[in-house]
Structure 1
């Protein structure tokens, strides 16, 4: 006959284990150290701070500029990320064919969220995507990536009117109006265009903070960093703002 005291003890131990494993207990996320080229998983993302993510992108851009990109097995990355994604950064970039974030930061499948629109402007749909990326998926860094010699910026400087493009370029007008660069205020004035480009990046960063209380709160908590950056189409180098 089984000892009733042993049965009671075993029952108590099982009950205690169930309580410790209940949904009310704080979840412990395993952390896997980041290494260049590693597949982004939940455990890898968990160990990356906003500043870490920024440094990873900086290192990636250095590899791109030096012509030494990482060698990756794309088929393996596709398989490993098939059931989920945990990017380390969210990049809002221009649609320009020369400034693809995955290329200029030497990133790959599963590494970054990429929203691309002419002039890297901000709208409600992009904000929704950013909120999903940071609040739901846990992406710690948001980058507004502008670039030199931007056709959208030049179009805004020249006051171009063309179908649906007109309303897009209107979003860049605040930067055009803020520019103090002397000389002709059009797309032929290189210094004027450059200043408007930088002001537009800053304006987009500010719009994210002011139009999304969710992201502003995450930034205040130190869980997310929102920054601007400028890609130089003549050198391939990204400078940070």
Structure 2
């Protein structure tokens, strides 16, 4: 489903917005595209946009949210940064997406075989990347403390850090943004975590947070 006006967007629930993404990923895995006429979408969106979700994902070239959720122009806000970590500019972008542009859902999307998480687990240091990867340290420490039998540099360890990094990011979005927290507590938006399998194209939704005020 495409949202063509502000009334469509306002009537949408966070739960329904999530269902659009789940259905889109099923189409992607089945190689069935519902949003292929890009020039038509350019014409449809020339006077405005009514995106239903904002998705924070990694810059990994295999994790384009528009593709893996089979969404078209104007359907979602896509925020991308190595390791899908959080900073003030990203929080501000989410506040814009939800409070001003009407999006109903925030998704934090991690993925398997993430180079940024791998680098953090191996202690990589390189220019400004060093500070970025430092944002993963809380998740590394969590996995080391709760799974002391697992090598943090192994693929299993890296995947555990990736999953916890998603949960950690979700929690801190609400902690750091009174704007988004208020919208969440009023049931105006939902916030969910997800994990994309680069090997299969499937997205597993791990943590779904909604408050139904109706």
Supply the distance in 1 between the matched residues of 2:150 and 2:70 (Cα, whole angstroms). Answer: 38
Matched, 1:184 2:151: yes
Supply the distance in 2 between the matched residues of 1:95 and 1:40 (Cα, whole angstroms). Answer: 29
Supply the distance in 2 between the matched residues of 1:190 and 1:117 (Cα, whole angstroms). Answer: 21
- Superposition deviation, residue 134 in structure 1: 0.5
> Which of 36, 56, 70 is the aligned partner of 2:20?
56
Q: Tell me, which stretches of 5 or more residues in structure 2 are unaligned?
A: 207-214
Could you tell me which residue of structure 2 aligns to residue 211 of structure 1?
Answer: 176
Contact kept, 8 Å, 1:39 with 1:80, in 2: the verdict is: no
SS at match of 1:154: helix
TM-score by length of 2: 0.92
1:148-227 mapped onto 2 (5 Å cutoff): 148-179=112-143, 180-181=146-147, 182-186=149-153, 189-227=154-192
CA separation of 1:39 and 1:221: change in aligned 2, threshold 3 A: closer
1:11-160 mapped onto 2 (5 Å cutoff): 36=1, 38-160=2-124
How many residue pairs get aligned? The number is 203
- Per chain length, whose mean CA-contact separation is higher, i.e. which structure has more relative contact order (CA < 8 Å, sep 6+)? 2
TM-score by length of 1: 0.82
Superposed CA RMSD in Å reads 1.1
SS at match of 2:41: helix
Contact kept, 8 Å, 2:95 with 2:180, in 1: the verdict is: yes
SS at match of 1:227: strand
Report which of the two structures shows the higher radius of gyration computed on alpha carbons.
Answer: 1
Supply the distance in 1 between the matched residues of 2:78 and 2:35 (Cα, whole angstroms). Answer: 21
- Superposition deviation, residue 43 in structure 1: 2.2
CA separation of 1:151 and 1:219: change in aligned 2, threshold 3 A: same
Contact kept, 8 Å, 2:24 with 2:71, in 1: the verdict is: yes
Contact kept, 8 Å, 1:90 with 1:143, in 2: the verdict is: yes
SS at match of 2:34: coil
- Superposition deviation, residue 133 in structure 1: 0.7
Supply the distance in 2 between the matched residues of 1:198 and 1:76 (Cα, whole angstroms). Answer: 37
Q: Deviations over 1:85-124 (max 9, x none)?
A: 1101000000000011000000010000000000000100
Supply the distance in 2 between the matched residues of 1:77 and 1:52 (Cα, whole angstroms). Answer: 22
Contact kept, 8 Å, 1:40 with 1:88, in 2: the verdict is: no
Q: Tell me, which stretches of 5 or more residues in structure 1 are unaligned?
A: 1-35
- Superposition deviation, residue 183 in structure 1: 3.1
